[in-house]
């Protein structure tokens, strides 16, 4: 037991002497200007995403409860089925998210690419936020 303790202490001391290790880079979160995000949020409202996804993207829009699958919380980076990058989210908006039973979200091919990107940027900016 004591030996184990010393072994642990020793390795702890050794660890302290290690030169500062390069930490693994956290995944780069793309940076957007406040103006871009505001535009994305305005478009998110304009196109009615909030009815299902909630005004703040919490997955709690007025009709969310009636949906199966349920829209999820965009703040949680682990719940994205179709990818969580701006490109992936923009593509999901274009193609929709219908499962094999045809349930979920229809696509929005009518939204121009630039606007889809802006909405996607807004959604990505929510990831990891409280």
Give contact residues for ligand HEC (rule: CB under 6 A). 44, 47-49, 51-53, 67, 69, 71, 80-82, 89, 92-93, 97, 99, 104-105, 108, 119, 123
Q: How far is the CB of 114 from ligand HEC (least distance, A)?
A: 14
What is the nearest approach in angstroms of ligand HEC to the Cβ of residue 28?
19
Q: Contact, 89 vs 123, CB < 8 A?
A: yes
Q: How far is the CB of 25 from ligand HEC (least distance, A)?
A: 24
Nearer to ligand HEC, 71 or 117 (CB): 71
Q: CA-to-CA distance for 13 and 126, rounded, in angstroms?
A: 40
SS3 breakdown of the chain: % helix, strand, coil, rounded to 5?
Answer: 45, 5, 50
Quote the longest CA-to-CA distance of the chain.
70
Looking at the Cβ atoms of 8 and 103, the one nearer to ligand HEC is 103
Give the distance from CA 99 to its chain's centroid. 20
Q: Compute the least distance from the CB of residue 64 to ligand HEC, in Å.
A: 8
In terms of CB distance, is 19 or 27 closer to ligand HEC? 27
* Distance separating alpha carbons of residues 58 and 98, to the nearest angstrom: 20
């Amino acid at each position: 037991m004591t030996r184990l303790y010393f072994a642990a202490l020793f390795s702890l001391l050794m660890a302290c002497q290690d030169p500062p290790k390069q930490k693994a880079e956290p995944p780069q979160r793309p940076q957007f200007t406040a103006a871009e995000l505001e535009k994305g949020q305005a478009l998110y409202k304009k196109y009615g995403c909030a009815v299902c996804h909630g005004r703040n993207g919490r997955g709690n829009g007025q009709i969310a409860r009636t949906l199966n699958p349920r829209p999820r919380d965009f703040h949680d980076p682990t719940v994205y089925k179709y990818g969580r990058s701006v490109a992936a989210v923009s593509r999901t908006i274009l193609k929709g998210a219908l499962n094999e039973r045809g349930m979920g979200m229809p696509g929005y091919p009518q939204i121009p690419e630039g606007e889809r990107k802006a909405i996607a940027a807004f959604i990505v900016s929510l990831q990891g936020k409280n």
